Amino acid sequence: MSRHRQKHNMACFQRESPALKEILLRLYRAEKPLEFDHHLYEFGSVEYHVQASASIPDNTYLSIATPLLYQDFILSSGLPRYTLEMVKGISPDVIEIIEPPKEGYKLTLRLKYSRIPRNKGGVKMIASISSVQGVILSSQLKDMLMNVNSLEVSQGMYRPVKLIYHPREPFFVIKQPEKITAVFPMRFKEDTDVIIATAFFQVKPKTFINDGIIFFLKPCFVNNI
């Protein structure tokens, strides 16, 4: 059995995880079923666990551990139903959601490789599956933007909501009746700074059509651009 543990801190402007995509493609392109057990870490806070069985080729499992974007998203176990539906919608014929998820993870998927076509469409499907973390992030962000009660005014100020996408660099969203303001404490010295903003911009157009959204950088960091 192959066991691996590795870390990836690469920039990711695509929605999918390049490292996870590489692993899933390796299993997809293998001439014969592989015995596989692999832990993958990204951005210091996201963990993937990929397991495959040579004796049961259609039993490939992908588990994801991911931090909560904001504290009001706390759940007793797993992820909310609408998030699971979004994940299932990536590829309904290939993805089966295992409930409850593997201990220590937010989500466990069974991937039915026998249903993935052996052509360019199959490679595209693998890329879509590797975007699962982006789907989870989008779900949390949409939930926060639409449901969090940030309209309370305290001393003439709207309450900012703290979002934690990277452990060292939280950012803030202020939801007001006419607009939404996002404040990014960005230095533009690390790839993860750009990743955070990119993820937000990718979600925003699909979340709001008629709302105005304004983005600001903390002034103390502007000189570093």
How far is it, in rounded angstroms, from Cα 73 to Cα 155?
Answer: 26
Same domain, 136 and 162: no
Mean pLDDT comparison of 3-12, 105-114, 172-181, 213-222, highest-scoring range: 105-114
Same domain, 131 and 153: no
pLDDT score recorded for residue 52 = 94
Same domain, 181 and 92: no
Same domain, 210 and 100: no
Torsion angle of the four alpha carbons 191, 194, 199, 203, in this order, in degrees rounded to the nearest 10: -170
Give tens-digit pLDDT for 12-60. 334 688 999 999 999 999 988 899 999 999 865 789 999 999 888 788 9
Same domain, 132 and 21: yes
Domain that holds residue 103: 2-140
CA atoms within 13 A on the CB side of 187: 7
| Final residue before a domain boundary, out of 94, 118, 140 | 140
CATH code for the domain of 126:
3.30.1460.20
Same domain, 197 and 117: no
Same domain, 87 and 157: no
Same domain, 64 and 164: no
Same domain, 63 and 9: yes
| Final residue before a domain boundary, out of 122, 140, 158 | 140
How many independent structural domains does the chain possess?
2
Give tens-digit pLDDT for 98-135. 999 999 999 999 999 999 999 999 999 999 999 998 88
| Final residue before a domain boundary, out of 96, 115, 140 | 140
Same domain, 194 and 134: no
Would you give the distance in Å from CA 189 to the centre of its chain? Answer: 22
Confidence of residue 82 (pLDDT cuts 50, 70, 90): confident
pTM of the model: 0.68
Same domain, 181 and 131: no
Same domain, 35 and 129: yes
Better pLDDT: 8 or 64: 64
